[in-house]
Structure 1
Amino acid sequence: MAETEPKAPTTEVAPESTFTDEVLRPRGWMYKRLGSDKFNLGWYASPKFQLGMVAFVCFLCPGMFNALSGLGGGGKADAKLADNMNTALYSTFAVVGFFAGTIVNRLGVRAALSFGGIGYCIYSISLLVSVHKYVPGFNIFAGAFLGVCAGLLWTAQGTIMMSYPLEQSKGRYFAWFWGIFNVGACLGSLIPLGQNINVKTNATVSDSTYIAFIVLMFIGACLALFICDADKIVREDGSRVILMKSPSWWTEIYGLWETIKAEPYIILLFPMFWSSNWFYTYQQNGINGAYFDTRTKSLNGFLYWFAQIVAAVIIGPLLDVDGVRRSLRAKIAFGVLFTLTMVIWGGGYAWQKHYTRESVGADAIAAGTFTPWDWTTKGYVGPMFLYFFYGMYDAVWQGTVYWFMGALGNSGRRLANLAGFYKGLQSAGSAVMWSLDSKETPFMNLLASNWGILSGSLIVALPVVFMRIRDTVPLEDDLKGTDETIEDVLPPGAIAEKRVTGEI
């Protein structure tokens, strides 16, 4: 029997429209998959891993700042100093924030995040110094400097959260980021709670509280140095973030105008941007700082930030729910937000009728006509739940606004500018509100301004929600105004597949 020659092994070549992880990602340690099949962390330069790192930076920097601010008065018994510092903070934040997209696009997200973290450390240091020495100049400088830093940090964060994920994942990425970020505020609230557990008066927190915040904020600024810039990011489908290849200061400044020109309807979202932090001053100083003792303020702060985690976990996946067109989801989200505005702020009005600024002020406490409420005080459960729902409302509002912006495009360059507009206008509103509080505007007036501005801004935003949010944004629209091409942002296999399906 003749011996047959064995056949050479054959290899089947996959069609060009199908591709594997190895084809989708470049070589190198940044693109090696981390974790297991059950617990997939992506790769170092993946949107998932990088957003996680940014979330921990915000956990340690603005998360701790929120915990400190949530005590009312920056942890001090007299809120006037913190009001003046925050007026300076949000004034510079408003100016820098509006142009921060240009700066972040030029310098990169890593430098912006790390520089931003330093401002939070200096702010807390100045509060600690003020406990022992009268240094108003240093305090105001620290507030103004933090405004510059925070403008860059939050614009870089918004760029990452809105432009890195795929279109169908933007709500979930918000939930993931917002949850981790607010865990920082929750843990930050537990620090003064543990250290002031026996303090039943309205007193300034201890030095060790401020020192703990300073150390954690500095660690956050250092962690930001290990984040990748946007040009290194590769998404799950192999696509890259749309940027300018060779940005200059002029192209990025001109990009601000291009952002408005490409989507002029975005101006109708500006009132929502303005009102998105307007309520913090009233909630933190007018309710928590004014009505409760030190340990209960800490507990309320914890519940407020915990409520944000709960709300983010709920709202994020719902914004991305499968089987419902994105344009319809936008309308449903708008309806839910308007309903919550009426219900929760209506409850706030019912609570605010019980007291005035004068009836709970220092003179009333000294005269014995008012004693700050403790968690053991009868009737505490009602305002506790109100404050909890205020926290949930904040997360729903912020998440919905971010999702609306993210639904208007996927370009990292354009979304950086939108994030800058958002943070700039948000901070301008905050500066006005902190100034009103420092002038001892009646609490009821502050509540009425919140309810009115929030409701009015939703009405103004209606045309954007009903006319401009599409089920998907074509890649060609995102590439307008940049020097990128389809070949720059998609791998060869993905380009072939999109051509076959008629997407490009």
Structure 2
Amino acid sequence: MAETRSISASSYNNVPAHHEKRLWYRTTFFNAFVIGGVGFMAPGLWNAMNSLGAGGAQSPFLINAANALVFGLMGFLCLFGGPIANRIGLNWTLLLGAVGYPIYSAALYTNNRYGNVWFVLVGAVACGLSAGLFWASEGAVALGYPEPAKRGRYMNIWLWFRTGGPLVGGAIVLALNHSAEAKDRGKVGYKTYLIFIALQCVAVPLAIFLSPPDKVQRSDGSKVKIVLQSSWRAELLELWRLSCKKEILLLIPVFWAAYFNQYSSNFQTYYFGVRARALTGFLSTPTPILASNRFTDPDKGYFATLFSSWLISRFLDYKGVSTKNRITYSFCYVIVLHIIAWVYGWVVQEKYTANPPTFDWTDKGFVEGFFVLVLWEFSRQALQNWLYYLVSTMTDNISELSRLSGILRGQESFSQAVSFGLNTRNWYGGRVPLAVNTILLGLAVFPTLLVIKNHVPIEHDKNASTKLESRDEEEGAVQNNVESGKGNCVTGETVATKS
């Protein structure tokens, strides 16, 4: 027999904060390092292998097919990752999201050393399923845990770690593949993968240290807002409602455009030798010098990704401009970056189509081709940071944020799957994938501007809990159903419970 009881529409963060002792492992700063550390060793090192071009293989076509499978499965799991995270908890979702990465690296190792093909596809399935859960949980934590005034800063910390994975991985690859014998085209040494496998295995237990949302301690005293649905069915209906919202549908083209360019992998295998690919994999991620949260010594080596992330994140947190204007101005900046990057990319590609080179790092034309990759990465990272910030201003509820970040990453994953599939063919001169990328970026501008025009950012009011406490005292006691293992609160729903 089932009975029904009503739950007050107040959410967990509306309960007045008590003077609780701040624990370092519950702070947003520590949790940013947990999510960053897992990102560093799992997808970060995965990106390091792909930054070699084709996962370090001699031919890009098998790896591109495997990556298409990874991102196709990842897209579906990202979409449903929000409801899964809301039901089993963000920390367990993050743990499951890290499991598949070392399996895929092991598959690349067996392919490199023994020519095994089937394990690459099995590893791609495992990685795709895990990655979908990882990205849905990671996005919710990176955007929902920090104080709203520090979202850009913490998003940058998360990005530093995740991009630090390719940086360290690139250094490992470069150290193992720098000899004169690696000047020509070919594949990297198989020992490279063993280090990656070992490091990615560490990411799994690290995810356990992520705090549940209800235990996170923000510096401003506010709580992470949690409003969960009462059942799997209700979660899926809420996901469908959110997916059908006008602004989400209008953002789908830019979700696709943000990560569609996977031709960069083929560009490297076509025009660079092995050790040049190792060097571009190392240098196309920045080597910043950090002191007091600022870049110092401008003459030393911070390149595309981290510098791009730092630059736009600093502006997105700038309080001298309203949130709406920050979003608008940043998007204009992103448009200008992409125009510069793709015009330059087209010019260089046409030159290489007419006379295909194979560059070593000692060759005169190496820098010209290298900057194609730098500019593509710089512009792409700015767009990704902007998109995550935009999504974070659409809600102040981490449960809904997990669904939104899952939708965002899901669409990005579908676009990457199509792009990797497109690049399984040896298109003459790369004109077809470049044309598709350029057209998609152009088509994404107008609908995104419509969203920005009508978007009203949700501003965080840390005094809301005091106001709602008075209202609740008049209406009756607030009932909160907090699931201790998940750190979740069911609110605003009619819940059927068995008796």
Question: Shorter-chain-normalised TM-score: which range?
Answer: 0.7 to 0.9
Aligned to 1:290: 270
Match of 1:327 among 315, 324, 329: 324
Q: In structure 1, which of residues 290, 299, 308 is the aligned counterpart of residue 279 of structure 2?
A: 299
Task: Map 1:329-478 to 2 at 5 A.
Answer: 329-356=326-353, 360=356, 372-442=358-428, 443-470=430-457, 472=459
Distance 1:469 1:81 in 2: 45
User: Do residues 186 (structure 1) and 167 (structure 2) align?
Assistant: yes
- Matched letter for residue 146 of structure 2: P
Q: Pick 1 or 2: higher relative contact order, CA cutoff 8 A, min separation 6.
A: 2
- What does residue 366 of structure 1 align with? none
Q: CA, structure 1 residues 26+89, in 2 after alignment: closer, same or farther (shift >3 Å)?
A: same
Amino acid at match of 1:425: Q
The separation in 2 between residues aligned to 1:25 and 1:254, in whole angstroms, is: 38
Secondary structure class of the residue paired with 2:46: helix
**Alpha-carbon distance between aligned partners in 2 of 1:379 and 1:201, rounded to the nearest angstrom:** 15
User: For 1:285-343, what per-residue CA distance to the aligned partner results, in whole angstroms no more than 9, with x for missing partners?
Assistant: 2x222111111111111222212111111111111112111111111011111111111
Aligned-pair identity in percent equals: 28
Tell me the equivalent position of 1:214.
Answer: 197
Alignment of 1:33-44 (within 5 A): 43-44=24-25
1:106 maps to: 87
Query: What SS class does the counterpart of residue 438 from structure 1 fall into?
Result: coil
Structure 2 Cα separation of the partners of residues 384 and 107 of structure 1: 44
Distance in 1 of aligned mates of 2:93 and 2:332: 36
Residue 407 of structure 1, CA deviation: 1.3
Distance in 2, Cα, partners of 1:102 & 1:477:
27
**CA distance in 2: counterparts of 1:348 and 1:242, whole angstroms:** 44
Distance 1:471 1:250, change over 3 A: closer
Change (3 A) 1:488 1:324: farther
SS at match of 2:352: coil
1:13-46 per-position Cα deviation (integer Å, ceiling 9, x unaligned): xxxxxxxxx965535xxx32xxxxxxxxxx2112
2:26 aligned counterpart, secondary structure: coil
Unmatched 5+ stretches in structure 2: 1-15, 287-303, 466-471, 481-499
Distance, in Å, in 2 between the alignment partners of 1:246 and 1:166 is 24
Query: How many pairs align?
Result: 435
Deviation of residue 61 (structure 1)? Answer: 0.7
- Structure 1 residues 247 and 294, CA, compared in 2 at 3 Å: closer, same or farther? farther
Q: Is contact 1:47-1:235 (8 Å) kept?
A: yes
Q: CA deviation at 1:245?
A: 5.7
Deviations 1:166-207 (A, max 9, x none): 222211111111112111111111111110101112221112
- 1:305 counterpart SS class: coil
Deviates most, 92-101 or 435-444: 435-444
Matched residue, 1:26 = 20
Distance 1:79 1:25 in 2: 57
1:132 aligns with 2:119: no
User: How is 1:154-233 mapped onto 2 (pairs within 5 angstroms)?
Assistant: 154-198=135-179, 199-233=182-216
Displaced runs of 4+ in structure 1, greater than 4 A? Answer: 22-25, 473-478, 485-489
Q: What is the TM-score when the length of structure 2 is the normalising length?
A: 0.82
- Secondary structure of 2:359's counterpart equals coil
Q: State which of 310, 313, 316 in structure 1 corresponds to 2:313.
A: 316
Structure 1's 247 and 291: CA in aligned 2 closer, same or farther, altered over 3 A?
Answer: farther
Q: Which residue number corresponds to residue 483 of structure 2?
A: none
**Matched residues in 2 for 1:441 and 1:228: separation?**
47
Shift of 1:373: 0.3
Amino acid at match of 1:275: A
Structure 2 counterparts to residues 49-60 of structure 1, below 5 A: 49-60=30-41
Name the structure 1 match of 2:217. Answer: 234
1:257 & 1:407 partners in 2: Cα distance? 20
For 1:293 and 1:74, locate their aligned partners in 2 and report how far apart those are by CA, in whole Å: 14
**Structure 1 counterpart of 2:192, one-letter code:** T
- What amino acid is aligned across from residue 409 of structure 2 in structure 1? K
Q: In 1, Cα distance between the equivalents of 2:462 and 2:81?
A: 25
Give the 5 Å matches for 1:72-111.
Answer: 72-111=53-92
Q: Which amino acid aligns with 1:434?
A: F
Gap regions ≥5 residues in structure 1: 1-21, 33-42, 361-369, 479-484, 490-504
Query: Is the contact between residue 222 and residue 462 of structure 2 (CA under 8 Å) also seen in structure 1?
Result: no
* Letter paired with 1:470: P
1:161 and 1:174 in contact (8 A); partners too: yes
Amino acid at match of 1:236: S
Q: In the TM superposition, what is the alpha-carbon distance from 1:476 to its structure 2 partner?
A: 12
RMSD across aligned positions (CA): 2.4
Deviations 1:220-258 (A, max 9, x none): 122112212222212222222222367532232122034
Task: Tell me the CA shift for residue 477 of structure 1.
Answer: 12
Sort the Cα spacing of 1:243 and 1:462 in 2 relative to 1 into closer, same or farther, 3 A: same
Q: Does 1:276 align with 2:258?
A: yes
In 1, Cα distance between equivalents of 2:134 and 2:53: 23
Task: Tell me the equivalent position of 1:499.
Answer: none
**One-letter identity of the residue aligned with 1:235:** R
Give the whole-Å Cα distance in 2 for the aligned partners of 1:432 and 1:23: 47
What's the TM-score once normalised by structure 1's chain length? 0.82
